[in-house]
Structure 1
Amino acid sequence: MSDTPPSRIALVTGASRGVGRALALALAREGAHVVLLARTMGALEALDDEIAGFGGAATLVPCDLADFEALDRLGAALNERFGRLDALACVGGQLGPLTPLAHVEPKDWEMLVAVNLTANWRLLRSLDPLLRAGRSPRVLVVTSGAAHRARLKPYWGPYAVTKAGLEALARTYAAECANISEIKVMLANPGPLRTAMRAKAMPGEDPASLRTTQEFAQKAVALLRPEWSESGRLYDFPSDRLLDFAAPS
Protein backbone atom coordinates (compact mmCIF):
# COMPACT_ATOMS: atom_id res chain seq x y z
CA MET A 1 0.00 0.00 0.00
CA SER A 2 1.29 3.49 -0.86
CA ASP A 3 2.61 5.81 1.83
CA THR A 4 1.05 8.76 0.02
CA PRO A 5 -1.52 10.47 2.29
CA PRO A 6 -5.10 9.81 1.13
CA SER A 7 -6.84 12.62 -0.71
CA ARG A 8 -9.99 12.13 1.38
CA ILE A 9 -10.81 10.87 4.88
CA ALA A 10 -14.38 9.57 4.91
CA LEU A 11 -16.46 8.13 7.76
CA VAL A 12 -19.41 5.84 6.99
CA THR A 13 -21.83 4.64 9.67
CA GLY A 14 -23.76 1.41 9.22
CA ALA A 15 -20.83 0.30 7.08
CA SER A 16 -21.07 -3.45 7.62
CA ARG A 17 -23.99 -4.11 5.27
CA GLY A 18 -26.52 -2.71 2.83
CA VAL A 19 -26.27 0.91 1.75
CA GLY A 20 -23.44 1.70 4.16
CA ARG A 21 -21.29 -1.12 2.85
CA ALA A 22 -21.89 -0.20 -0.79
CA LEU A 23 -21.14 3.46 -0.14
CA ALA A 24 -17.96 2.63 1.78
CA LEU A 25 -16.74 0.52 -1.13
CA ALA A 26 -17.54 3.30 -3.61
CA LEU A 27 -15.59 5.84 -1.54
CA ALA A 28 -12.63 3.49 -1.13
CA ARG A 29 -12.53 2.84 -4.87
CA GLU A 30 -12.21 6.60 -5.38
CA GLY A 31 -9.12 6.64 -3.17
CA ALA A 32 -10.59 7.72 0.17
CA HIS A 33 -9.33 6.28 3.43
CA VAL A 34 -12.62 5.02 4.80
CA VAL A 35 -13.42 4.92 8.52
CA LEU A 36 -15.92 2.08 8.85
CA LEU A 37 -18.32 2.26 11.80
CA ALA A 38 -20.73 -0.59 12.60
CA ARG A 39 -21.58 -2.96 15.43
CA THR A 40 -20.34 -6.25 13.96
CA MET A 41 -16.56 -6.68 13.96
CA GLY A 42 -16.63 -9.77 11.74
CA ALA A 43 -18.53 -7.96 9.00
CA LEU A 44 -16.19 -4.96 9.27
CA GLU A 45 -13.16 -7.23 8.91
CA ALA A 46 -14.67 -8.83 5.81
CA LEU A 47 -15.26 -5.40 4.30
CA ASP A 48 -11.72 -4.34 5.22
CA ASP A 49 -10.37 -7.38 3.39
CA GLU A 50 -12.39 -6.49 0.28
CA ILE A 51 -11.14 -2.90 0.35
CA ALA A 52 -7.54 -4.02 0.82
CA GLY A 53 -8.02 -6.41 -2.10
CA PHE A 54 -8.22 -3.53 -4.57
CA GLY A 55 -5.54 -1.44 -2.84
CA GLY A 56 -7.78 0.66 -0.63
CA ALA A 57 -7.36 1.50 3.04
CA ALA A 58 -9.77 1.54 5.96
CA THR A 59 -9.95 2.04 9.71
CA LEU A 60 -12.40 -0.15 11.64
CA VAL A 61 -14.57 1.31 14.41
CA PRO A 62 -16.73 -1.39 16.03
CA CYS A 63 -19.35 0.72 17.76
CA ASP A 64 -23.07 0.70 18.52
CA LEU A 65 -24.69 3.97 17.46
CA ALA A 66 -26.56 3.94 20.77
CA ASP A 67 -23.22 4.16 22.62
CA PHE A 68 -23.22 7.93 22.83
CA GLU A 69 -20.08 8.16 24.94
CA ALA A 70 -18.17 6.23 22.27
CA LEU A 71 -19.45 8.64 19.62
CA ASP A 72 -18.28 11.54 21.77
CA ARG A 73 -14.80 10.00 21.96
CA LEU A 74 -14.67 9.32 18.24
CA GLY A 75 -13.97 12.94 17.30
CA ALA A 76 -10.91 13.11 19.56
CA ALA A 77 -9.58 9.79 18.28
CA LEU A 78 -9.93 10.79 14.62
CA ASN A 79 -8.41 14.19 15.34
CA GLU A 80 -5.37 12.55 16.89
CA ARG A 81 -4.88 10.26 13.89
CA PHE A 82 -5.99 12.38 10.92
CA GLY A 83 -6.58 15.93 12.12
CA ARG A 84 -9.51 16.34 9.76
CA LEU A 85 -12.58 14.70 8.22
CA ASP A 86 -13.49 15.32 4.58
CA ALA A 87 -16.66 13.27 4.20
CA LEU A 88 -19.30 11.94 6.57
CA ALA A 89 -22.01 9.51 5.46
CA CYS A 90 -24.69 8.95 8.11
CA VAL A 91 -26.23 5.70 6.94
CA GLY A 92 -26.75 3.51 10.01
CA GLY A 93 -30.28 3.14 11.30
CA GLN A 94 -33.00 0.70 12.32
CA LEU A 95 -36.51 0.00 11.09
CA GLY A 96 -38.11 -0.80 14.44
CA PRO A 97 -41.60 -2.22 14.89
CA LEU A 98 -44.25 -1.79 12.20
CA THR A 99 -47.31 -1.40 14.40
CA PRO A 100 -49.93 1.18 15.42
CA LEU A 101 -48.49 4.03 17.45
CA ALA A 102 -50.57 3.08 20.47
CA HIS A 103 -49.00 -0.40 20.43
CA VAL A 104 -45.36 0.70 20.29
CA GLU A 105 -43.43 -0.30 23.39
CA PRO A 106 -41.60 2.62 25.06
CA LYS A 107 -38.27 0.75 24.87
CA ASP A 108 -38.69 0.34 21.09
CA TRP A 109 -39.57 4.01 20.64
CA GLU A 110 -36.57 5.10 22.71
CA MET A 111 -34.27 2.78 20.76
CA LEU A 112 -35.41 4.20 17.42
CA VAL A 113 -34.99 7.78 18.60
CA ALA A 114 -31.53 6.95 19.96
CA VAL A 115 -30.20 5.19 16.86
CA ASN A 116 -31.95 7.03 14.03
CA LEU A 117 -31.88 10.55 15.44
CA THR A 118 -29.88 11.25 18.58
CA ALA A 119 -26.84 9.27 17.42
CA ASN A 120 -26.57 11.45 14.32
CA TRP A 121 -26.70 14.61 16.43
CA ARG A 122 -23.99 13.20 18.69
CA LEU A 123 -21.88 12.43 15.61
CA LEU A 124 -22.26 15.95 14.23
CA ARG A 125 -21.45 17.38 17.65
CA SER A 126 -18.34 15.21 17.92
CA LEU A 127 -17.13 15.57 14.34
CA ASP A 128 -18.00 19.20 13.53
CA PRO A 129 -14.50 20.54 14.35
CA LEU A 130 -12.93 17.89 12.12
CA LEU A 131 -15.31 18.65 9.27
CA ARG A 132 -14.50 22.35 9.53
CA ALA A 133 -10.82 21.40 9.26
CA GLY A 134 -11.55 19.13 6.29
CA ARG A 135 -10.81 19.58 2.61
CA SER A 136 -14.05 20.50 0.83
CA PRO A 137 -16.03 18.71 3.56
CA ARG A 138 -19.24 16.99 2.55
CA VAL A 139 -21.97 15.40 4.70
CA LEU A 140 -24.55 12.92 3.40
CA VAL A 141 -27.49 11.87 5.56
CA VAL A 142 -29.51 8.89 4.33
CA THR A 143 -33.22 9.33 4.94
CA SER A 144 -36.38 7.64 3.68
CA GLY A 145 -39.48 8.49 1.71
CA ALA A 146 -41.36 7.59 4.90
CA ALA A 147 -40.22 10.92 6.34
CA HIS A 148 -41.42 13.29 3.64
CA ARG A 149 -43.97 11.65 1.34
CA ALA A 150 -47.26 13.52 1.03
CA ARG A 151 -49.27 10.78 2.73
CA LEU A 152 -47.63 8.81 5.51
CA LYS A 153 -48.15 5.07 5.71
CA PRO A 154 -49.93 3.70 8.77
CA TYR A 155 -47.88 1.58 11.17
CA TRP A 156 -44.54 3.12 10.15
CA GLY A 157 -44.78 5.77 12.89
CA PRO A 158 -41.53 5.38 14.90
CA TYR A 159 -39.40 5.00 11.77
CA ALA A 160 -41.11 7.87 9.93
CA VAL A 161 -40.97 10.19 12.94
CA THR A 162 -37.27 9.60 13.55
CA LYS A 163 -36.42 10.01 9.87
CA ALA A 164 -38.41 13.25 9.74
CA GLY A 165 -36.44 14.47 12.74
CA LEU A 166 -33.23 13.41 11.00
CA GLU A 167 -34.16 15.49 7.97
CA ALA A 168 -34.75 18.53 10.19
CA LEU A 169 -31.37 17.91 11.83
CA ALA A 170 -29.57 17.81 8.48
CA ARG A 171 -31.38 20.87 7.16
CA THR A 172 -30.51 22.81 10.30
CA TYR A 173 -26.85 21.85 10.08
CA ALA A 174 -26.80 22.82 6.40
CA ALA A 175 -28.26 26.24 7.24
CA GLU A 176 -25.76 26.78 10.06
CA CYS A 177 -22.84 25.93 7.76
CA ALA A 178 -24.08 27.96 4.79
CA ASN A 179 -22.17 31.19 5.41
CA ILE A 180 -19.37 30.19 7.75
CA SER A 181 -17.74 27.08 6.29
CA GLU A 182 -17.23 25.02 3.15
CA ILE A 183 -19.33 22.18 4.55
CA LYS A 184 -22.10 21.02 2.21
CA VAL A 185 -24.89 18.88 3.68
CA MET A 186 -27.19 16.72 1.58
CA LEU A 187 -29.97 14.24 2.27
CA ALA A 188 -30.54 11.20 0.08
CA ASN A 189 -33.60 8.98 -0.23
CA PRO A 190 -32.59 5.55 -1.60
CA GLY A 191 -36.17 4.37 -2.09
CA PRO A 192 -36.87 0.62 -2.17
CA LEU A 193 -33.58 -1.29 -2.41
CA ARG A 194 -32.55 -4.93 -2.13
CA THR A 195 -31.61 -4.86 1.57
CA ALA A 196 -32.28 -6.87 4.70
CA MET A 197 -34.24 -3.94 6.17
CA ARG A 198 -36.51 -3.83 3.11
CA ALA A 199 -37.05 -7.59 3.30
CA LYS A 200 -38.07 -7.25 6.95
CA ALA A 201 -40.53 -4.47 6.12
CA MET A 202 -41.97 -6.13 2.99
CA PRO A 203 -41.49 -9.90 3.42
CA GLY A 204 -43.67 -10.83 0.46
CA GLU A 205 -41.78 -8.67 -2.03
CA ASP A 206 -39.59 -10.18 -4.74
CA PRO A 207 -36.08 -8.77 -4.07
CA ALA A 208 -35.19 -9.25 -7.73
CA SER A 209 -37.69 -6.49 -8.56
CA LEU A 210 -35.69 -3.95 -6.57
CA ARG A 211 -32.62 -1.92 -7.43
CA THR A 212 -29.37 -2.71 -5.64
CA THR A 213 -27.38 -0.83 -3.02
CA GLN A 214 -24.51 -0.65 -5.51
CA GLU A 215 -26.69 1.27 -7.97
CA PHE A 216 -27.61 3.78 -5.27
CA ALA A 217 -24.00 4.11 -4.10
CA GLN A 218 -22.82 4.93 -7.62
CA LYS A 219 -25.12 7.97 -7.55
CA ALA A 220 -24.80 8.91 -3.87
CA VAL A 221 -20.99 8.96 -3.84
CA ALA A 222 -21.11 12.04 -6.07
CA LEU A 223 -22.72 13.98 -3.20
CA LEU A 224 -19.55 13.46 -1.14
CA ARG A 225 -17.05 14.59 -3.77
CA PRO A 226 -15.22 17.93 -3.39
CA GLU A 227 -16.82 19.30 -6.55
CA TRP A 228 -20.38 18.84 -5.20
CA SER A 229 -21.77 22.36 -4.66
CA GLU A 230 -25.39 21.95 -3.53
CA SER A 231 -26.38 21.98 0.14
CA GLY A 232 -29.55 21.63 2.16
CA ARG A 233 -31.40 19.64 -0.50
CA LEU A 234 -32.68 16.10 -0.98
CA TYR A 235 -31.45 13.70 -3.65
CA ASP A 236 -34.26 11.29 -4.55
CA PHE A 237 -32.77 8.14 -6.07
CA PRO A 238 -36.06 6.66 -7.40
CA SER A 239 -36.61 9.72 -9.60
CA ASP A 240 -32.92 10.68 -9.90
CA ARG A 241 -33.82 14.27 -9.00
CA LEU A 242 -32.82 16.94 -6.54
CA LEU A 243 -35.84 18.01 -4.52
CA ASP A 244 -36.65 20.76 -2.10
CA PHE A 245 -37.98 19.58 1.23
CA ALA A 246 -41.61 18.73 1.81
CA ALA A 247 -41.90 17.53 -1.79
CA PRO A 248 -43.79 14.25 -2.25
CA SER A 249 -41.71 11.15 -2.92
Structure 2
Amino acid sequence: MTAQHLTAVLEGRLIVSCQAPPGDPMRETSALVRLALAAVAGGASAIRANEPGVVAAIVDAVDLPVIGLWKDGDTGVYITPTVRHALALVEAGAAVVAADATDRPRPDGSAFAELVTAVHAAGALVMADVSTLAEGVAAAGAGADFVSTTLSGYVPGSPQQPGPDLELVEALAAAVAVPVVAEGRLHTPEQAREALGRGAHSVVVGTAITAPTALTARFVAGLARP
Protein backbone atom coordinates (compact mmCIF):
# COMPACT_ATOMS: atom_id res chain seq x y z
CA MET A 1 0.00 0.00 0.00
CA THR A 2 1.43 3.36 -0.99
CA ALA A 3 1.63 6.32 1.38
CA GLN A 4 -0.83 8.20 -0.83
CA HIS A 5 -3.38 5.38 -0.70
CA LEU A 6 -3.10 4.87 3.03
CA THR A 7 -3.29 8.60 3.64
CA ALA A 8 -6.60 8.66 1.80
CA VAL A 9 -7.90 5.60 3.70
CA LEU A 10 -7.09 7.11 7.10
CA GLU A 11 -8.09 10.72 6.58
CA GLY A 12 -10.51 11.83 9.28
CA ARG A 13 -10.87 8.28 10.51
CA LEU A 14 -10.35 6.20 13.65
CA ILE A 15 -7.47 3.78 14.20
CA VAL A 16 -8.07 1.38 17.09
CA SER A 17 -5.14 0.19 19.16
CA CYS A 18 -5.67 -3.44 20.19
CA GLN A 19 -3.04 -4.03 22.86
CA ALA A 20 -2.82 -5.27 26.45
CA PRO A 21 -0.03 -4.81 29.00
CA PRO A 22 1.98 -7.69 30.44
CA GLY A 23 -0.05 -9.67 32.97
CA ASP A 24 -3.40 -8.45 31.70
CA PRO A 25 -6.01 -11.18 31.01
CA MET A 26 -6.51 -9.73 27.52
CA ARG A 27 -2.86 -10.25 26.55
CA GLU A 28 -3.58 -13.32 24.47
CA THR A 29 -3.49 -13.41 20.70
CA SER A 30 -7.02 -14.72 20.12
CA ALA A 31 -8.45 -12.11 22.51
CA LEU A 32 -6.63 -9.31 20.71
CA VAL A 33 -7.82 -10.62 17.35
CA ARG A 34 -11.41 -10.48 18.62
CA LEU A 35 -10.86 -6.91 19.78
CA ALA A 36 -9.66 -6.10 16.27
CA LEU A 37 -12.70 -7.77 14.73
CA ALA A 38 -14.96 -5.78 17.06
CA ALA A 39 -13.17 -2.59 16.00
CA VAL A 40 -13.73 -3.48 12.36
CA ALA A 41 -17.43 -4.09 13.04
CA GLY A 42 -17.62 -0.68 14.71
CA GLY A 43 -16.15 1.13 11.71
CA ALA A 44 -12.43 1.49 12.45
CA SER A 45 -10.20 2.31 9.48
CA ALA A 46 -7.04 0.57 10.73
CA ILE A 47 -5.69 -1.44 13.65
CA ARG A 48 -2.58 -0.76 15.73
CA ALA A 49 -1.08 -3.88 17.32
CA ASN A 50 1.97 -4.98 19.27
CA GLU A 51 4.39 -7.85 18.52
CA PRO A 52 4.89 -9.76 15.27
CA GLY A 53 2.78 -12.77 16.23
CA VAL A 54 -0.23 -10.65 17.12
CA VAL A 55 0.26 -8.48 14.04
CA ALA A 56 0.31 -11.56 11.79
CA ALA A 57 -2.84 -12.98 13.39
CA ILE A 58 -4.73 -9.69 13.01
CA VAL A 59 -3.53 -9.25 9.43
CA ASP A 60 -4.98 -12.69 8.66
CA ALA A 61 -8.28 -11.87 10.38
CA VAL A 62 -9.17 -8.37 9.21
CA ASP A 63 -9.31 -6.59 5.89
CA LEU A 64 -7.83 -3.35 7.18
CA PRO A 65 -4.31 -1.91 7.28
CA VAL A 66 -2.41 -2.94 10.39
CA ILE A 67 0.06 -0.60 12.06
CA GLY A 68 2.58 -2.81 13.81
CA LEU A 69 4.92 -2.06 16.66
CA TRP A 70 7.09 -4.19 18.89
CA LYS A 71 7.49 -3.20 22.53
CA ASP A 72 10.74 -4.69 23.79
CA GLY A 73 11.36 -3.66 27.38
CA ASP A 74 9.72 -0.86 29.34
CA THR A 75 12.32 1.90 29.64
CA GLY A 76 14.08 4.18 27.19
CA VAL A 77 13.46 3.50 23.52
CA TYR A 78 11.41 0.30 23.55
CA ILE A 79 8.77 0.82 20.84
CA THR A 80 10.30 -0.91 17.81
CA PRO A 81 13.78 0.03 18.99
CA THR A 82 15.89 -1.45 16.17
CA VAL A 83 15.83 -2.24 12.46
CA ARG A 84 15.57 -5.92 13.37
CA HIS A 85 12.32 -5.31 15.24
CA ALA A 86 10.96 -3.19 12.41
CA LEU A 87 11.67 -5.74 9.69
CA ALA A 88 10.06 -8.51 11.74
CA LEU A 89 6.86 -6.47 11.74
CA VAL A 90 7.00 -6.01 7.98
CA GLU A 91 7.49 -9.76 7.63
CA ALA A 92 4.39 -10.24 9.82
CA GLY A 93 2.34 -8.20 7.37
CA ALA A 94 2.25 -4.72 8.89
CA ALA A 95 1.44 -2.06 6.32
CA VAL A 96 2.96 0.53 8.64
CA VAL A 97 5.67 0.16 11.26
CA ALA A 98 5.32 2.44 14.28
CA ALA A 99 8.61 3.25 16.01
CA ASP A 100 9.93 5.53 18.73
CA ALA A 101 11.36 8.61 17.02
CA THR A 102 12.27 10.58 20.13
CA ASP A 103 15.73 12.06 20.49
CA ARG A 104 16.78 9.40 23.02
CA PRO A 105 19.55 6.94 22.06
CA ARG A 106 18.43 3.69 20.49
CA PRO A 107 19.67 0.50 22.18
CA ASP A 108 21.79 -0.58 19.20
CA GLY A 109 23.20 2.89 18.58
CA SER A 110 21.39 3.26 15.25
CA ALA A 111 19.56 6.34 13.97
CA PHE A 112 15.82 6.54 13.34
CA ALA A 113 16.58 7.37 9.69
CA GLU A 114 18.21 3.94 9.28
CA LEU A 115 15.00 2.25 10.41
CA VAL A 116 12.98 4.35 7.95
CA THR A 117 15.27 3.40 5.07
CA ALA A 118 15.09 -0.31 5.91
CA VAL A 119 11.31 -0.35 6.28
CA HIS A 120 10.79 1.52 3.03
CA ALA A 121 13.14 -0.88 1.25
CA ALA A 122 11.04 -3.77 2.60
CA GLY A 123 7.88 -2.24 1.14
CA ALA A 124 6.15 -0.76 4.20
CA LEU A 125 5.57 2.69 5.66
CA VAL A 126 6.74 4.28 8.92
CA MET A 127 4.82 6.05 11.66
CA ALA A 128 7.07 8.07 13.96
CA ASP A 129 5.98 8.10 17.60
CA VAL A 130 7.19 11.39 19.09
CA SER A 131 6.82 13.46 22.25
CA THR A 132 7.73 16.98 21.09
CA LEU A 133 7.46 19.29 18.11
CA ALA A 134 11.21 19.15 17.46
CA GLU A 135 11.14 15.34 17.38
CA GLY A 136 8.23 15.35 14.95
CA VAL A 137 9.95 17.78 12.61
CA ALA A 138 13.12 15.69 12.72
CA ALA A 139 11.20 12.47 12.07
CA ALA A 140 9.44 13.94 9.06
CA GLY A 141 12.81 15.11 7.80
CA ALA A 142 14.16 11.59 8.23
CA GLY A 143 11.48 10.25 5.92
CA ALA A 144 8.66 9.15 8.23
CA ASP A 145 5.35 8.79 6.38
CA PHE A 146 3.25 9.72 9.44
CA VAL A 147 4.05 11.50 12.70
CA SER A 148 2.11 10.53 15.83
CA THR A 149 1.88 12.23 19.22
CA THR A 150 1.98 8.82 20.97
CA LEU A 151 4.79 9.57 23.40
CA SER A 152 3.82 13.03 24.62
CA GLY A 153 3.47 12.77 28.38
CA TYR A 154 5.52 9.60 28.58
CA VAL A 155 8.96 11.10 27.95
CA PRO A 156 10.69 13.66 30.19
CA GLY A 157 10.39 17.13 28.71
CA SER A 158 6.92 16.60 27.27
CA PRO A 159 3.73 17.85 29.00
CA GLN A 160 2.47 15.67 31.85
CA GLN A 161 -1.30 15.97 31.66
CA PRO A 162 -4.37 13.75 32.01
CA GLY A 163 -5.74 14.43 28.54
CA PRO A 164 -4.39 14.42 24.98
CA ASP A 165 -1.67 16.83 23.90
CA LEU A 166 -3.77 18.73 21.40
CA GLU A 167 -1.32 21.62 21.41
CA LEU A 168 1.32 19.29 20.00
CA VAL A 169 -1.14 18.01 17.40
CA GLU A 170 -1.79 21.57 16.26
CA ALA A 171 1.88 22.55 16.24
CA LEU A 172 2.92 19.48 14.26
CA ALA A 173 0.12 19.95 11.74
CA ALA A 174 1.43 23.43 11.06
CA ALA A 175 5.07 22.37 10.88
CA VAL A 176 5.27 19.13 8.86
CA ALA A 177 4.03 18.11 5.44
CA VAL A 178 3.27 14.50 6.38
CA PRO A 179 0.00 13.46 8.07
CA VAL A 180 -0.16 13.97 11.83
CA VAL A 181 -1.82 11.27 13.91
CA ALA A 182 -3.27 12.13 17.32
CA GLU A 183 -2.63 9.42 19.90
CA GLY A 184 -2.41 9.31 23.66
CA ARG A 185 -5.01 9.76 26.42
CA LEU A 186 -7.93 10.34 24.06
CA HIS A 187 -10.80 9.38 26.36
CA THR A 188 -13.91 10.60 24.50
CA PRO A 189 -15.30 11.01 20.98
CA GLU A 190 -15.37 14.76 21.64
CA GLN A 191 -11.63 14.82 22.26
CA ALA A 192 -11.05 12.79 19.11
CA ARG A 193 -13.13 15.22 17.10
CA GLU A 194 -11.24 18.17 18.57
CA ALA A 195 -7.98 16.52 17.55
CA LEU A 196 -9.17 16.52 13.93
CA GLY A 197 -10.16 20.15 14.33
CA ARG A 198 -6.64 20.92 15.53
CA GLY A 199 -5.17 19.46 12.35
CA ALA A 200 -4.84 15.73 13.02
CA HIS A 201 -5.16 13.62 9.90
CA SER A 202 -6.48 10.66 11.90
CA VAL A 203 -6.85 9.54 15.52
CA VAL A 204 -5.66 6.47 17.44
CA VAL A 205 -7.70 5.35 20.44
CA GLY A 206 -6.71 2.39 22.58
CA THR A 207 -7.53 2.26 26.29
CA ALA A 208 -10.91 3.98 25.97
CA ILE A 209 -12.06 1.22 23.59
CA THR A 210 -10.02 -1.94 24.07
CA ALA A 211 -8.83 -2.07 27.71
CA PRO A 212 -11.56 -3.50 29.97
CA THR A 213 -9.19 -3.93 32.92
CA ALA A 214 -8.14 -0.27 32.88
CA LEU A 215 -11.69 0.92 32.31
CA THR A 216 -12.99 -1.17 35.19
CA ALA A 217 -10.26 0.19 37.48
CA ARG A 218 -11.21 3.75 36.51
CA PHE A 219 -14.82 3.18 37.55
CA VAL A 220 -13.77 1.44 40.76
CA ALA A 221 -11.52 4.38 41.66
CA GLY A 222 -14.30 6.83 40.86
CA LEU A 223 -16.74 5.05 43.13
CA ALA A 224 -14.20 5.03 45.95
CA ARG A 225 -13.86 8.80 46.04
CA PRO A 226 -15.52 10.50 49.06
- Same fold (TM > 0.5): no
**RCO higher in 1 or 2 (8 Å CA, sep ≥ 6)?**
1
For normalisation by structure 2, the TM-score amounts to 0.36
* Larger Rg belongs to: 1
For normalisation by structure 1, the TM-score amounts to 0.34
